[in-house]
Structure formats: C-alpha cells, structure tokens
Amino acid sequence: MEWLAALGRAGLSFSARLGRANLLFVAMLRGLPALLRRPRLLIEQMFAIGVLTVLIIAVSGIFVGMVLGLQGYHILSRFGAEATLGVMVAASLVRELGPVVTALLFAGRAGSAMSAEIGLMKATEQLSGLEMMAVNPEHRVLTPRLIAGIISMPLLAALFSMLGVYGGWFVGVGLLGVDDGTYWAQMQSQIDWNEDVVNGVVKSFVFGVVCTWIAIFQGYDCVPTSEGVSRATTRTVVHSSLAVLGLDFVLTALMFN
Amino acid sequence: MSKMRQLEILVGAFMATGFVALFFLAMNVSNLGAVNSGDSYKVLARFDNIGGLKVKSPVTMAGVEVGRVIDIYYDAQDFRAVAVLGIYSQFDQIPDDTFAKILTAGLLGEQYVGLDPGGSEQVLKDGGEIVLTQSALVLEEVIGQFIFGKAQEGAQ
C-alpha cells in the first residue's frame, strides 16, 4: 500500500511540475512587450549566455571537426572514397553534431549557471524583493534570459559547425592530403541548404527553447536552500541533456525520413 | 569606456560572428552558393529504365554540368520513365539529335545523365524531347545476361 501511495504522489507532483513549467513559459512570453522597452536587459543576458559560451563552443567545434576528419579519412580511404570526406564532415556537423553537441555544452555551461543564479536569487529573496517593489520578477529576470538563450543557440550551433568544417579541413586537407578543391566541391554539391542547413538551424532553435526553458524553470522552481539550488543545477544539466537527445531523435525522424 | 558599452560591443561581435558562420554554411558548405538556380529550359527524355536516377541528379555534357534532373515520372501510355531535364539557359546550342544516357559516377557512385551531342542543325528548345536514349545499367541484368551467355556457350 505504501509504495502505491508513493507512486501516486510522484505522479501528481510530476504532473504539477509540468503544469507549472508551462504556466511559467506563458508568463515569460507575456513579458515580451516589456522586454522591447528595455533591450539593455537582453544585451546583458546575451553576454552572460552567448558571449561567454563562445570559447568552449569554438574549441569543441574545432576538435570535433578534427576527429571527424581523422576517423572519416580512415574509414573512407578503405573504400577509396576520401573525396567525400568533406561531405561526411559537413553533413554530420550541420545535421547532427552541431545542434546536439552545442545544446549539451550550452546546458552544461550556460544552463547550469542560469539555474544557479535564479535559484540563489530565490533563496536570498531577491525575487520576492522585486515583487515588493511592484516589479514582475518573471518579466524582469526570466524573459530576457529565455530570449537570449533562444537567440544564442542557433548562432552558437552555426559557429560550431563552421569551425568543425575547418577542423575537418585542417586534418583532411592539411595533414592527410585530401585534395583541397575536392573537399569543398563535393561538400557544396551534396549539402543542401534547405534540407541540411535550415533543418539544423531549426533543430538548434528548438534546443535553445528547451534548454533555456528547463534551466529557468529549475532555478525558479527550486527549494530555496543551498541544497535545493545544487539539486536544481544538477537537474538542469540532466534534464536538458535527456530532452535534447530525445527531441533530436524525434526531429530527425520528422525532417529526414 | 563604460561597462555597458563594452558589453554591447561584445554582444554585437558575437551576433556578427554567428551570422557570419550561418552565411559561411550557406555559401561555402551548402549548394546555395552554386549558380544552378539560374534560368533553365526543360527537355524531356524517355528511358526504359532510369535505375537510381533521382531528382536533382546532374546532367552533364563532356563531363561539364549543364543542368539538373527536375522531375521524374512514369508514363503509363508507353510504359517508360520520363525524366524532365532542366538545362541551364546558357547552354542553348544542344542539337536535337543528342543522345542521352544514364551513367554512373565511379563503380558505386550516384547516377547522372550524360549527353552526347549529335550533328543536327536544329537545337533543342524548351519542352523539346530527346529521342535517342540509353537506359541505366542495372547490375543484376548485366550479370544475368553474362550467366545466360555462358550457359548457352556450354550447351553448344
């Protein structure tokens, strides 16, 4: 009987959290007009979320591209198809690795920081303080973060893919001797703008919404203690990663079937 | 320089970098930068078997791409496949007795349409049709013929 009650409690609390998350999302969207009057808030968040994440994205992008170049070369040269190295590198980056790895890094770098910050604001009653001053904390604190995350993610993913392509080019053309012209020409003839690049951007946009939403909700909904904040941070990373990987499958199935 | 101003500059640089990356993906990685979106005219070609030919497969002449396959459909009247070839407008001097065949790039590569020009004075116009065609080489049929030929040799 005990575990049945526990199961019911867990189900109800899950449902309630989901409901709160959705209500919070609507509340944040309501803050859009207020944000347009204060673009400065958005710029501050773009810096904290976008600019500070560039370095890790850039470094990982280059290395992922280099590994793809190395692995791809060894596999493709077995079939005498080194010429398609550029296609392989670019397709895997633009379609999958760019959006997904960027989202995972984003969740670890920006998402966790975001929930810790919001959670600590809640724990130190800064959010209640804002409310006391008749400032809507959802509009003032959360909306700029959400929008900044949504804008940053596609740009970061594009940066990741671009540097990855150059990383693959460095290893393939520079070190392993694939022809420079073939690398780019094969890539350009095989990669389609609508089918590959735009779908990748759509993916990273969706991941941007989901990752930022999860980070903000976990911070805003945390138990206002130091333990609660630490749990919220952990949950942000775990839930975002799972959501990204799960959604990636769904989106891929929808786009490339 | 105030702190806010510094932030603005960094965020602006970040946005610019992101858009440059997107532009790079568009122009250098994908086919958007290629000139194939220009004007083209349509030419029909009927094949007994198109094999693995797909929409967007290249149409080449002497190895140079002169167009793309725009559409492929089945003609129920004469039981043949019709490939609509979009030839770029600058290649408007193709004789109307040109021979179209479906070729394969490499042993396992993708299939494309190769055009061999004929000697006619008339040139192909928009909506024209290439009458002389050769179907795709289907590996199973070739192997089948080979085995059949061997068997006949053995019977004699």
Contacts of A212 (CB under 8 A, 6+ apart): A49, A111, A114, A145, A146, A148, A149, A150, A153
CB A91 within 8 A of CB A256: no
Contacts of A137 (CB under 8 A, 6+ apart): A127, A130, A131
Residue of A152, A160, A197, A198 best to disrupt the B interface, most CBs of B under 10 A: A197
* Whether pLDDT at A257 is above 80: no
* Whether pLDDT at A97 is above 60: yes
Of B18, B19, B34, the CB nearest to A188: B34
- Across all residues in chain A, what is the average pLDDT? 92
* Whether pLDDT at A40 is above 70: yes
Rounded-to-integer distance, Cα A94 and Cα A22, Å = 30
Average pLDDT over residues A194-222: 93
Global confidence as pTM: 0.78
Chain A stretch 119-178, residues whose beta carbon is closer than 8 A to a beta carbon of chain B: 151-152, 154-156, 158-159, 161-163, 165
CB A153 within 8 A of CB A205: yes
Q: Which residues of B41-51 are buried (b: 16+ CB within 10 A; e: fewer)?
A: bbbbbbbeebb
Residue B58 is predicted with a pLDDT of 83
Pair of tokens at residue A247: 């959604």
* Whether pLDDT at B7 is above 90: no
pLDDT in tens, B96-130: 888 898 888 766 667 888 998 888 888 888 888 88
Residue A185 is predicted with a pLDDT of 80
- Across all residues in chain B, what is the average pLDDT? 84
Taking Cα atoms as reference points, which of A217, A209, A109, A95 lies closest to residue A157? A95
